[in-house]
Amino acid sequence: MKGNQLILVLLCLFLTGCWDQHLMKNAVLIQILSFDLTPEKEILLGVSIPIIEESSGGPQAPVRSETFSATGQTPRNSRLKIDREISGILDSSKNKLILFGEKMAGVGIYQSLDVIWRDPRNSLGATLAVVEGKAVDLLNIKPRHEPNVSEYIQDALTSAEENSIIPNQTIQTLASEMLDLGEDIVLPHLTMNKRKSAVVVGLALMNEKKYAGNLPPQESTLLLLLNNKKGKYARFTKQVNKDLKPEINNYISFNVQDMKRKLKVYVKDGEVSVLLNLDLKINVDEYPKGDVPKEIERLNRVLSKDLTEDAKQVIDKLKEANCDAFGIGRRLIAFHPETWKAQDQKEYFKKIKFNTNVKVEIIKHGIVM
Amino acid sequence: MKQNRNKITNKQLVFYIIQAQIGVGILSLPHDVALVAKQDAWMSTLLAGVMSQVIIFGFWGLCKRFPSSSLYQILPKLLGRVIGKVVILCYALYFMITGSLVLARYSDIIDKWILPSTPNWITMLLILITCIYIVNEGLTSIARFYVLVSPILIVLIVLILNSMKDANLLYLFPIGDHSIQTIMKGSKEAAFSMLGFEVFLFIHPFVQSSGKEKLRAITTSNIFVTFFYTFMVFASLIFFEPIRDIALTPEPLLYMIKAYSFQILERTDLFFLSLWLVIVATSIANWLLLSAMGLASLVKKKNYASFLPLVAGINLVLAILTDQGRDFESFNHFLGPTHYIFIVIIPVLLLILSFVLSKKEVVSKV
């Protein structure tokens, strides 16, 4: 019995884990990180931290956010400088979002992410995004209806994800695609509008690890569909009539209900061609002219043609940015390794011939005709 | 009554060997194998399983000829008293060193992933105390404990399956792009993680079943472990880009789990690591047991328990000495050939010797 008591006391001493405790009261949680490149080629790191205010009677204390920034040679170096400025210890284990300024993204995003992969305490669930202009400016906006910038931007991204404007991805799922020679990534593209709120303006196309171009929202949705990464909704508005009055009658809005994508890579004499077929079953959301069933054949035809054209345009833009978002290179590595070895492994995407077809079929048109 | 206490059943043997085989290597196995065999690493893992099965047949052949003696009793019978004792000592030392390496690797991962500022000797000491406690109680208790903790393996599989939603099967292709030699080299890497089945040589007299049943049991565990490992390697290969990304990630499985959080559970890797601790403890306990048994049979003591603190102490010292990550390389390098000597060459030589000398245990009554 005596022995057991001794062991118990010893256990209490040993098992407290006093070396590695991180007390919440000392921690300052980072919610957004932003990376920018200064003209002097230094890294400008911005962090957004939540500030919990005294509850004013209500059950929930309001949370607003505060932004700090500092420059340094590496992200860690900048972070140390911020750490000296604030009371408490910066803790990035709950970080949800990492923003890159355009300049930084143009140089490459991989290097500045190293610290996030290396430190076990960092969260790998964070998402990445590219911001037009300087990223740290976006942290300084004061949205009216949501005092916490982090919540606000995240909500904006989540809704864009649901609407298939941006794909759902985290820093860990991106790592493999970024390192893969035969595949490139696309990131959400954000901007700040005149009223100082953040807007998702489509996708930033990356060439390997560098920012190389962008796609506006409708085209980004089409790209996601072509890439078989549909979110909850995928909505388009298209012009299907000409010269009707009022103008609103010329347009149709629809949501993609169901889709099938077929992607096949062919190699002939070392030339790579891709067959990309997209079958969309759509649900008409809005057609002010009315009577969809009567025009269904024509609408199907016009929309198919229109979206096929758009798809071609999207692919041209991808080629221009040299962004292999479809991972054609990976398919070559996998199924045609000899062809892959003969290809220029940086510029191969530009030479691929695409044969793209989008077929649209209206299957539902709401509760009226 | 006293004899019954140290017997284990055939089913317990299955779990015993599974737990002895699956150990500290599981986290880094996909990385180690993929470094060599790239996208064909899963084949290397399967191959390693086949090779260990061949060795297992050899073990069984030896044990069949001596159904009631462990290797420590067979050695003096076949090699004579003096040489036998020397070899026993070598075995005991070998198990001690292997145990230390496992201990050092365990504390290295704990240090890197969870407790960076806690002194490593504390984490080592804690797990050693636990292991002594497990081993001290005799074979039956050890086996029961191993059966009890085996469901953890299923949790690990489920956690890995969860991250499969972001996998890319294309990473596996082209299948068989590497030469047989490369794949063989890869399975050499996998073989270290397969180790642990040699415990059969030492505990088979305590299993209450016929020779055939024992073979079936040990084969079952080996097949399970092979598939378990192959699944883990396969999962990491399709999650990570198999040439550059996986080479940057020493513990791919942890990374895969870390990337996801559940509604009420974030940092799933910490949860995973605490389960993994148990798996590591079982294999450290196993090596502790083997080493202590060896020392006990050296001085003809029936009870090995009094040697446990000594072995654990040596383990601790050796592990602290090699605590720096860089030392693992040289440690591993040194251990590589020793594994072959102790696991393959000596048992096979003994088997041949027993045929040549036509020495066999007279089965009196079983």
ipTM for the predicted complex comes to: 0.82
Q: How many Cα atoms occupy the beta-carbon half-sphere of A191 within 13 Å?
A: 12
The answer, for B175 touching chain A at a CB cutoff of 8 Å, is: no
CA dihedral B333, B335, B341, B344 (to 10 degrees): -100
Please state the pTM of the whole predicted model: 0.86
Give which of A179, A265, A326 to mutate to test B binding, by max B Cβ within 10 Å: A179
The answer, for B111 touching chain A at a CB cutoff of 8 Å, is: no
Give which of B164, B166, B277 to mutate to test A binding, by max A Cβ within 10 Å: B166
Q: What is the mean pLDDT of residues B178-196?
A: 83
Residue B139 Cα, gap to closest chain A Cα (Å): 23
Statement: residue B366 has pLDDT above 60? no
Q: Does B170 contact A327 at a Cβ distance shorter than 8 Å?
A: yes
The answer, for A179 touching chain B at a CB cutoff of 8 Å, is: yes
The answer, for A175 touching chain B at a CB cutoff of 8 Å, is: yes
The answer, for B114 touching chain A at a CB cutoff of 8 Å, is: yes
The answer, for A335 touching chain B at a CB cutoff of 8 Å, is: yes
Q: Kindly report the number of other CB atoms within 10 A of residue B334's CB atom.
A: 11
The answer, for B244 touching chain A at a CB cutoff of 8 Å, is: yes
Which chain A positions have a beta carbon within 8 Å of B241's beta carbon? 176-177, 179-180
* Highest mean pLDDT pick, A158-172, A266-280, B218-232, B312-326: B218-232
Cross-chain CB nearest to B259 (options A14, A124, A337): A124
Report the C-alpha gap between B96 and A243 in whole angstroms: 88
Give which of A116, A127, A176 to mutate to test B binding, by max B Cβ within 10 Å: A176
Residue B237 Cα, gap to closest chain A Cα (Å): 11
Q: How many CB pairs under 8 A join A and B?
A: 76
Report the C-alpha gap between A127 and A96 in whole angstroms: 6
Q: Does A334 contact B170 at a Cβ distance shorter than 8 Å?
A: yes
Which chain A positions have a beta carbon within 8 Å of B122's beta carbon? 14, 19
The answer, for A19 touching chain B at a CB cutoff of 8 Å, is: yes
pLDDT bin (cut points 50, 70, 90) of residue B229 is very high
Residues B130-156 pLDDT 10s? 898 888 888 888 899 999 999 989 988
For chain B, positions 214-243, list CB contacts with chain A under 8 A: 239-241
Residue A57 Cα, gap to closest chain B Cα (Å): 28
Statement: residue B266 has pLDDT above 80? no
Measured between its terminal Cα atoms, the distance across chain B in Å is 17
Residues B82-94 pLDDT 10s? 888 898 999 889 8
Residues B344-365 pLDDT 10s? 888 888 888 888 877 666 654 4
* pLDDT averaged per 10 residues, chain A (length 369): 76 69 81 88 88 70 82 88 85 86 87 85 85 86 79 87 87 84 88 80 86 87 87 88 85 90 86 89 87 85 90 89 87 85 82 88 84
Q: Does A180 contact B260 at a Cβ distance shorter than 8 Å?
A: no
Contact B30, B230 (CB under 8 A): no
β-strands A97-101, A127-131: how paired?
Answer: parallel
H or E element at residue B295: helix B268-298
Q: Does A176 contact B241 at a Cβ distance shorter than 8 Å?
A: yes
Report the C-alpha gap between B329 and B62 in whole angstroms: 33
Report the C-alpha gap between A350 and A348 in whole angstroms: 6
Contact B22, B280 (CB under 8 A): no
Measured between its terminal Cα atoms, the distance across chain A in Å is 84
Mean pLDDT for all residues in chain B: 84
pLDDT at B3: 46
CA A205 to chain CA centroid, Å, is 10
Which tokens in the block code for residue A88? 């408490």
- The Cα-based distances of A313 to A123, A223, A259, A351, B83 in angstroms read 37, 10, 20, 16, 81
pLDDT bin (cut points 50, 70, 90) of residue B269 is confident
Contact A329, A183 (CB under 8 A): yes
Cross-chain CB nearest to B255 (options A94, A172, A179): A172
Statement: residue B301 has pLDDT above 90? no
* Highest mean pLDDT pick, A44-53, A194-203, B45-54, B325-334: B45-54
Q: Does B258 contact A14 at a Cβ distance shorter than 8 Å?
A: no
pLDDT at A140: 83
The answer, for B168 touching chain A at a CB cutoff of 8 Å, is: yes
Contact A325, A246 (CB under 8 A): no
SS (H, E, C) B193-238: HHCCCCHHHHHHHHECCCHHHHHHHHHHHHHHHHHHHHHHHHHHHH
Statement: residue B224 has pLDDT above 90? yes
Which chain A positions have a beta carbon within 8 Å of B173's beta carbon? 333-335
Cross-chain CB nearest to A20 (options B116, B171, B245): B116
